[in-house]
Protein backbone atom coordinates (compact mmCIF):
# COMPACT_ATOMS: atom_id res chain seq x y z
CA UNK A 1 0.00 0.00 0.00
CA UNK A 2 2.80 2.43 0.87
CA UNK A 3 4.55 1.84 -2.46
CA UNK A 4 1.46 3.02 -4.39
CA UNK A 5 1.19 6.06 -2.10
CA UNK A 6 4.89 6.91 -2.55
CA UNK A 7 4.79 6.44 -6.34
CA UNK A 8 1.80 8.77 -6.62
CA UNK A 9 3.52 11.50 -4.60
CA UNK A 10 6.82 10.96 -6.41
CA UNK A 11 5.15 11.14 -9.84
CA UNK A 12 3.61 14.47 -8.79
CA UNK A 13 7.02 15.84 -7.78
CA UNK A 14 6.63 15.54 -4.00
CA UNK A 15 9.30 12.89 -3.38
CA UNK A 16 11.38 15.24 -1.20
CA UNK A 17 8.32 16.28 0.81
CA UNK A 18 6.65 12.96 1.61
CA UNK A 19 7.21 10.78 4.65
CA UNK A 20 8.26 7.13 4.60
CA UNK A 21 4.97 5.82 6.00
CA UNK A 22 1.36 6.51 5.06
CA UNK A 23 -0.61 5.17 8.00
CA UNK A 24 -0.73 3.02 11.07
CA UNK A 25 -2.98 0.55 12.81
CA UNK A 26 -5.30 1.63 15.61
CA UNK A 27 -6.12 -0.58 18.55
CA UNK A 28 -5.49 -0.88 22.25
CA UNK A 29 -2.34 1.02 23.13
CA UNK A 30 -0.90 3.07 25.94
CA UNK A 31 0.83 6.45 26.10
CA UNK A 32 3.13 7.87 25.00
CA UNK A 33 2.41 5.90 21.78
CA UNK A 34 -0.98 6.52 20.12
CA UNK A 35 -0.52 3.95 17.35
CA UNK A 36 -0.15 0.20 17.17
CA UNK A 37 1.99 -1.93 14.88
CA UNK A 38 1.95 -2.24 11.94
CA UNK A 39 2.80 1.05 10.31
CA UNK A 40 2.36 1.18 6.54
CA UNK A 41 5.80 1.48 4.94
CA UNK A 42 7.67 -0.17 2.10
CA UNK A 43 8.69 -3.76 2.70
CA UNK A 44 6.42 -4.32 5.70
CA UNK A 45 5.52 -8.04 5.58
CA UNK A 46 2.21 -7.64 7.43
CA UNK A 47 -0.84 -8.84 5.46
CA UNK A 48 -3.79 -6.49 5.94
CA UNK A 49 -6.87 -8.46 7.01
CA UNK A 50 -10.58 -7.77 7.53
CA UNK A 51 -11.14 -6.32 10.98
CA UNK A 52 -7.97 -4.20 10.91
CA UNK A 53 -8.43 -0.48 11.55
CA UNK A 54 -5.95 1.96 10.01
CA UNK A 55 -5.46 5.69 10.21
CA UNK A 56 -4.35 6.58 6.68
CA UNK A 57 -2.44 9.82 6.27
CA UNK A 58 -0.90 11.87 3.50
CA UNK A 59 1.73 14.17 4.97
CA UNK A 60 3.81 16.61 2.98
CA UNK A 61 6.62 18.53 4.69
CA UNK A 62 8.34 21.61 3.31
CA UNK A 63 11.28 21.89 5.69
CA UNK A 64 12.84 24.83 3.87
CA UNK A 65 9.76 26.95 4.55
CA UNK A 66 8.79 25.24 7.84
CA UNK A 67 5.40 24.20 6.46
CA UNK A 68 3.50 20.92 6.60
CA UNK A 69 0.18 19.56 5.36
CA UNK A 70 -1.64 16.45 6.54
CA UNK A 71 -4.84 14.80 5.35
CA UNK A 72 -5.99 11.73 7.22
CA UNK A 73 -8.91 9.37 7.66
CA UNK A 74 -9.64 6.23 9.65
CA UNK A 75 -10.82 3.06 7.86
CA UNK A 76 -12.04 -0.36 8.89
CA UNK A 77 -10.88 -3.14 6.54
CA UNK A 78 -13.80 -5.39 5.59
CA UNK A 79 -14.23 -8.43 3.35
CA UNK A 80 -15.56 -6.48 0.37
CA UNK A 81 -14.47 -2.86 0.77
CA UNK A 82 -13.09 -0.40 3.27
CA UNK A 83 -15.47 1.37 5.62
CA UNK A 84 -14.68 5.03 6.32
CA UNK A 85 -15.11 5.62 10.05
CA UNK A 86 -14.94 9.43 9.99
CA UNK A 87 -18.25 11.25 10.22
CA UNK A 88 -17.18 14.68 8.93
CA UNK A 89 -17.88 15.80 5.38
CA UNK A 90 -14.88 15.49 3.04
CA UNK A 91 -15.49 18.67 1.07
CA UNK A 92 -13.08 21.44 2.03
CA UNK A 93 -14.67 24.27 0.08
CA UNK A 94 -18.36 24.98 -0.34
CA UNK A 95 -19.11 26.62 -3.69
Q: Return the domain boundaries, the chain.
A: 2-84
Q: Which pLDDT value is given to residue 31?
A: 63
CATH domain 2-84 topology: Creatine Amidinohydrolase (3.90.230)
- pLDDT for 12-53, tens place per residue? 999 999 999 999 888 766 666 666 778 899 999 999 999 999
Query: The pTM is what?
Result: 0.79
Phi first, then psi, for residue 48 (nearest 5°) are -70, 135
- Mean pLDDT score across all residues of the chain: 87
Give 51 or 95, the one with higher predicted confidence. Answer: 51
Would you say residue 88 has pLDDT above 60? Answer: yes
Amino acid sequence: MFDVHAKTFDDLGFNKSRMNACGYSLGATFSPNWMDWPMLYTGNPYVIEPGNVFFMHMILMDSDNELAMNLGETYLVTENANERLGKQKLDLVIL
